[in-house]
Structure 1
Amino acid sequence: SAGCFSGDSDHVLAIHQRKYGKPVFIYHHVQSLEKSLDTDSYKNSKQNFHSSSHTKISKLHPAIIVKSAFPRPAYDPSLDLLAMTGQDLEVENLPVPATNVIVVTLQMDVSKLNITLLRIFRQGVAAALGLLPQQVHINRLIGKKNCVELFVSPLNRKPGVSEALPSEEVLRSLNINILHQSLSQFGITEVSPEKNVLQGQREADKIWSKEGFYAVVIFLSIFVILVTCLMVLYRLKEKIQLSLRQEKEKKQEIHLSPLPLPTAQSEYKTTNSMVQPEQAPKVVNVVVDPQGQCVPELKPPLCASPSPFRMKPVGLQERRGSNVSLTLDMSSLGSVEPFVSVPTPREKVAMEYLQSAGRVLTRQQLRDAVACSHLLQTEFMEIPMNFVDPKEIDIPSHGTKNRYKTILPNPLSRVYLKPKSPSDSLSTYINANYIRGYGGKEKAFIATQGPMINTVNDFWQMVWQEDSPVIVMITKLKEKNEKCVLYWPEKRGIYGKVEVLVNSVQECENYTVRQLTIKQGSQSRSVKHYWYTSWPDHKTPDSAQPLLQLMLDVEEDRVESPGRGPVIVHCSAGIGRTGCFIATAIGCQQLKEEGVVDALSIVCQLRVDRGGMVQTSEQYEFVHHALSLYESRLSAEAVQ
């Protein structure tokens, strides 16, 4: 059966019979809506016929097809028996661009569409678009979505070539009323452009459009502009902060101006240039305001001081040094005449303090000082840091050999390496200082920074050159960031001209001991390496006992190596934990030999040799705790 639909593009179905007995359907355009169907003429298999009855209808209902006299398979109630094999209508399956594909969604099962129904479908779509049927091409049947994919070609399209008109342009001419009238039995639910899936299998999808490319370029341009602006603002902020910091440092410089004192003050006994008062002294703070005016401020002292120069506490001293201003104890310079002072550079004032300060403690006073931590903190804050200005070291590119740019060796006591050539001054540089020991013994210790990747050879050259019997390492290799590189081998290593052999490794409770042999040419020497790892940076251990035991072991090795060079001690920067260890070692010797100790004088002596030794007030207290523990051990031995 076949249907002819109302409208300008209605058809009349004529059934012809070929010689081999299969029916042929031929469609003709007519002016009126007619349909001819004669099922009786099917019995005459060799004559062409037209239906004897013409009925005008508006739609083709499936019931007409079901009642057709044509035989059909029992399993399929549709009109697929009307289909002919060998017809020229085919599903083309061409790689049509996505923009040219039209998808028509049906309620009817597309798997049951045969050639005849597809031809009816194509002619109905062509009528709705106002085109010729040969311009409408069925490209693919999509069973999952129950839809038909088609495209429209121009009139002069070559066969087998996927020339297609843009789908959006074609759909503008679609007449919805004609489409529903002519194809109502298909149950069309949607007509829309959609990407051709088959195209994606044969050619790459066009990801970049012109508009998308411009959008990406604009976005990247805006991003680059924003990043550039942020970088400029950050640089401006750094410059402003630097200028403010420099201005602040200038304002904090010490200016000692003549200050007239009233003559009606308490009388003092004068001995030499420093006079001990009979009454509690008063302290005059010389404060320089931003306008450069000096304002004296009287206040009672916190505690007695061995020197008229005392430091104003401003918090813990960290690696970048201190800009603490000095407080002048005017009363200890007592005189009935006004105090007149010549302006003195800060470095000279600080050095005078370091060379003269001291507070000798008996054993009982040592125990009392440990119990009074705030007095120790106040005392520590008064000690100048004595950091070195980089301009004082006249060696080009010496900064490449410094772990921290503000921790530099004192030029007067720094270790000089033998140069590789007379003109190579950088080869003589290592960030290390000779440290005096108990009783002012020269070159008792060497305090140095943790070796860097480019200073390992220099370190072992120093060990060989100074003939050091012991190396004490008081840092981990990494604490948040790198503190020291691994500068010794697992078994054997060559560092410059020095060969290092590891003979044995002994794991103790709080540190590791390595017995090393170092060689240069035909000579060889033994070196003991102590690695203490339980001391946190900028802090103190929970107990002083491990440090005290380490110090005693190192002292025993030093005594057993008479005639050899200084003990090398390093942490990361070579001033904090290193200073604590050396100060404890010197203090213990003083306690053992004299029965008293002067920790203040010891720390001042260390800072004269290397700036910043014993970095924080907590470390200063810890030194006193270690000395007190050693004093208790000495007392117990004396009782026994």
Structure 2
Amino acid sequence: MCCSERLPGLPQPVGMEALDQAEGPTASQREMPPPPLPSPPSEPAQKPPPRGTRSHSLSVRSSLCLLAASQFLLACGMLWLSGYGTIWSQNTTDLVSSGLTLLEQLRPSAWLGIRTWDIPSLLLVSLAVVLVTTLVWHLLRAPPEPPTTLPPEDRRQSVSRQPSFTYSEWMEEKVEDDFLDLDPVPETPVFDCVMDIKPEADPASLTVKSMGLQERRGSNVSLTLDMCTPGCNEEGFGYLMSPREESAREYLLSASRILQAEELHEKALDPFLLQAEFFEIPMNFVDPKEYDIPGLVRKNRYKTILPNPHSRVCLTSPDPEDPLSSYINANYIRGYGGEEKAYIATQGPIVSTVGDFWRMVWQEHTPIIVMITNIEEMNEKCTEYWPEERVVYDGVEITVRKVIHTEDYRLRLIALRSGTEERGLKHYWFTSWPDQKTPDRAPPLLHLVREVEAAQQEGPRCAPIVVHCSAGIGRTGCFIATSICCQQLRHEGVVDILKTTCQLRQDRGGMIQTCEQYQFVHHVMSLYEKQLSCQSPE
């Protein structure tokens, strides 16, 4: 084979990958200086407080002091006039009597009929009046304190333009010791994308380093996402979409970018172009308020990852009045050329939904299950829903006939029986997707896709393939997108990864969860195109 077997390692995300990587957070790497980002518009300088603000606060304090002094003096004067103060103030009067000699000579008090010893009392009363007048003047003079102006509230950004993680840096060699396991943390959007790319290098030899969850994600709503699917898709419910929802819907229906072989290789090596393109795609998540089913929380692994109503898989139930018995967190996904129900994307089963999962597999005549997650990655990602040998769930008997171990996956040959009917099932457990990050090699996933396509040709073509990871959107989206694009590349000689991603998100919100996963799909397709070119006769 003339093409190299190694392909682009992709940076690892999370953001939402805490949901799907729910599948796992990532590992932190050495960073190169991040490229300059457009600085946010400078905020207007805050206006200094009005001049009267400080003088007003001072005048109030001084006025209180003046008021206290005036009240004290007024009390003294009243005591003097009433006669109670003549005894203890006699000494003071004697001391100032010499100073009143001049006043006695002028005799102004005689004109007014005032006794000499009443003059200090009148002075005290006059001083009190002056102090009270000064207090009133200060209060009237001080301007009112202006109301505090609060800064305008920042508008929330659409999820399609506000990622909850940063991007991994590209390096020529991958150093395993550089990866660190980080616990999920609350998320603050960050946009630093640090990459070092040599365009002339062969894409098959590129390796990628992932950044930690803390740098990439910030808090988990986190994941507070407001790009939601309308609650009522059927006509007649009177639902009116908001301008944002209408814009997202139009984008998902119309976005397209067809890539020829050379364009595909160039684009796979341009992370900044892929970054900008990825953030333009609406996530199309579902608002949890759209589901008003009591007890629904017991059937969802993640409360913010819900199936889009219009494509949701509904289980047959003996009790039609119990909506919970027919519910499963799974969506039908269209395939190449818009083929209906080509895949089923679902969450990793939890203990309370293992029976529902096998009911769905039997109901849909599923010939193949693809599992792309470990049982645990820092915490539980999926319940081990298959038996060692034999088990029965909701009337469906599951028997494991054989287990085949390969380098990248484990294949279980399973027999299903319900009543007198028996069917065969192949269960692929892909084990080469590393914990907390995106794979640094593309061939393993591409090989799995080709193996599943070959196995599908042996079974009923109309039955959907069940694909799941942990949340059922990140790694699941990568596998389904790769499968669809491989078929397109073989039949048309071109590939449209953007349109494929939009089609997936119409059917299940959040498919291909992170920018790193989006880049990884491009690198896998770049490798596949090289393989096809090598196989074609020259």
How many pairs does the alignment contain?
Answer: 318
Quickly say closer, same or farther: Cα 1:386–1:537, change in 2 above 3 A: farther
Q: What do residues 441-488 of structure 1 show as CA deviations (whole Å, max 9, x unaligned)? A: 000000000000000000000000000100000000000000001100
Which residue of structure 1 aligns with residue 316 of structure 2? 418
In 2, the alpha carbon distance for the partners of 1:315 and 1:607 equals 22
TM-score w.r.t. structure 1 length? 0.48
Cα distance in structure 1, aligned partners of 2:533 and 2:317:
50
- Select the residue among 251, 258, 265 that pairs with 2:155: 251
Aligned pairs for 1:15-54 (under 5 A) are none
Once the two structures are superposed, the pairs formed by residues 424-503 of structure 1 within 5 Å of their partners are: 424-503=322-401
Asked if structure 1 preserves the Cα contact closer than 8 Å seen for 2:367 and 2:460, the reply is: no
User: C-alpha distance in 1, partners of 2:283/2:246?
Assistant: 13
C-alpha contact (below 8 Å) 1:468/1:564 kept by paired residues: no
Partner of 2:502: 604
Question: Paired residue for 1:295?
Answer: none
Contact 1:492–1:499 under 8 Å retained in 2: yes
Q: For 1:624, what is the secondary structure of its paired residue?
A: helix
Distance 1:354 1:316, change over 3 A: farther
Q: Which amino acid aligns with 1:487?
A: Y
Q: Deviations over 1:516-548 (max 9, x none)?
A: 000111101000000012213552111110000
Instruction: Give 1:557 shift.
Output: 1.1
Q: Partner of 1:271 in structure 2?
A: none
CA spacing shift, 1:355–1:489, aligned 2, 3 Å: same
Q: 2:255 corresponds to which letter in structure 1?
A: A
Counterpart among 561, 572, 579 of residue 459 in structure 2? 561
| TM-score (structure 2 length as normaliser) | 0.57
**Residues 460, 498 of structure 1: 8 Å contact kept:** yes
Residues 1:522 and 2:426 aligned together:
no
Higher relative contact order (CA 8 A, sep 6+): 2
Partner amino acid for 2:156? Q
1:623 counterpart SS class: helix
The runs of 4+ residues in structure 1 deviating greater than 4 Å are 314-325
1:319 deviates by: 7.6
2:513 corresponds, among 615, 623, 635, to 615
Q: Which of the pair has more CA radius of gyration? A: 1
Consecutive unaligned residues in structure 2, runs of 5 or more? 1-151, 159-214, 228-239
Aligned to 1:504: 402
> Which has a greater percent of helix?
2
Counterparts of 2:477 and 2:291 in 1: how far apart (Å)?
22
Q: 2:449 aligns with which of 551, 554, 567?
A: 551
Q: 2:377–2:436: 8 Å Cα contact kept in structure 1?
A: no
Give 1 or 2: higher strand fraction.
Answer: 1
CA change 1:537–1:583 in 2 (3 A) is farther
Identity %, equivalent residues: 57
Cα deviation code 1:556-601 (max 9, x no counterpart): 1112113441000000000000000000000100000000001011
Matching residue's letter, 1:569: V
- Aligned in 2, Cα 1:569/1:320: closer, same or farther, shift over 3 Å? farther
Question: Residues of 2 paired with 1:463 and 1:417: CA distance?
Answer: 10
> Deviation at 1:409?
0.2
Who is 1:399 aligned against?
297
* TM alignment of 1:142-221, pairs within 5 A: none
State the Cα deviation string for residues 366-415 of structure 1 (Å, max 9, x = none).
00101111110111011111100112123222121000000000000010
Q: Secondary structure at the match of 1:455?
A: helix
Distance 2:281 2:527 in 1: 24
| Contact kept? 2:342, 2:462, Cα under 8 Å | no
C-alpha contact (below 8 Å) 1:252/1:323 kept by paired residues = no
RMSD of aligned alpha carbons: 2.3
Name the structure 2 match of 1:345.
Answer: 243
- Contact 2:225/2:285 (8 A) holds in 1: no
Residues 465, 362 of structure 1: CA spacing in aligned structure 2 closer, same or farther, 3 A cutoff? same
Q: 1:440 to 1:409 in 2, by over 3 A?
A: same
Matching of residue 358 in structure 1 with residue 262 in structure 2: no
Q: Secondary structure at the match of 2:286?
A: coil
For residue 431 of structure 1, report the CA deviation from its aligned partner. Answer: 0.2
Equivalent residue in structure 2 for 1:539, among 432, 437, 440: 437
Letter in 2 for 1:252: R
What is the Cα deviation at residue 345 of structure 1? 2.8
Tell me which amino acid in the other structure corresponds to 1:485.
T
Contact 1:319 1:615 in 2 (8 A): no
Secondary structure (helix, strand or coil) at the match of 1:500 reads strand
**Following superposition of structure 1 onto structure 2, how do residues 43-82 of structure 1 map, counting pairs within 5 Å?**
none
Counterpart-to-counterpart distance in 1, 2:525 and 2:430: 19
Residue 491 of structure 2 corresponds to which residue in structure 1? 593
Taking the aligned partners of 2:285 and 2:226, their CA distance within structure 1 comes to: 12
Query: Could you give the per-residue CA deviations for residues 95-138 of structure 1, whole angstroms, max 9, x where no partner exists?
Result: xxxxxxxxxxxxxxxxxxxxxxxxxxxxxxxxxxxxxxxxxxxx
**In 2, Cα distance between equivalents of 1:398 and 1:556:** 37
| Change beyond 3 A, Cα 1:563–1:419 | same
